[in-house]
Structure 1
């Protein structure tokens, strides 16, 4: 089977702002960008932008556009990036397991140094080709400890010239809803959403609202 080569389309176009205080980091977009809803990070399904539109409707209104998202990110001092510059794929899917990273975004380290970022939020965690794992293990060359897995975060104080906390988010993707519903955090709060028609989604919106308020 012929390998599919994907190069990131947005990293050079949308560098990390020096004014940013928070950073959201994923892996790389799917290969078939022609089918994306928007030509931007997470633009294939807009999952995270739909969540932010519901969490902060006065700052991000529908219909979603790249300009509206950029304005929202600037107001909230949030930057967006990814860990993979280029990869090979066996199939043109969005799944991290189906890709082989060939070039990592090592420039992230200097970009974080040269910003005001104090919190980095990874949209996937500790598994194969997940965003946190690629950054922490493959770029920073550190070991993921049981404590990091338990707490879903770690403070790094010897790389960026200041303390920066790396967080593992619960994924914004709709395909992660089963994992959300099984999480301890959701189960502890499920009673608050028993009248909701979309309890997991509504919980997800509140989760992201609290993190990025």
Structure 2
């Protein structure tokens, strides 16, 4: 990839905020995903992204892309990210859409909601899956754990755990890996924290515009 493209870093690092609000009448979770931006600076070649990018991040190598579909960026990066939600209608906010929840087991109590096993939540164009989702009604907190995946058009985020506190509006994503399809950007962070003020704290963040399996450069940031 040419250096002039590599240093055009007026892009943003995403952070996801998941909000759960069950009404009194029935178990209900409301999820809102917010992709935010806060990253620019110089670049430095750092070898492979093996510790940054996990498998199944929507990457399609150039060897399987028809020649007539290979644009300049595709040839420079030796592939492309394919968004399975490209073209999905985004005119309606997920907050205004009905929520669909499925899981192997479901428990609803006066103070908590628990979904376990192949948990899938869909609200409009927003999709979340995890091994387990719990919501504490009294504390107004929610936690998704185990193979957590969040999708919306143009964005894929994977992590081991997402915690959200609706009283402070703070969201924490652990072991986050992300793709911004339209920006052709992939990266990761050991911990992403979105504070109630809107500020974002990043610990051990990495990102690149290059091929995730063999990048020409990787930008690292401790915080």
Structure having the larger proportion of residues in helix: 1
When Rg is computed on C-alpha atoms for both structures, the one with the higher figure is 2
TM-score > 0.5, shorter chain as reference: no
TM bracket, shorter-chain basis: under 0.3
Larger relative contact order (Cα-Cα within 8 Å, sequence gap ≥ 6): 1
TM-score (norm 1): 0.24
Give the number of the structure whose residues are more often strand, by fraction. Answer: 2
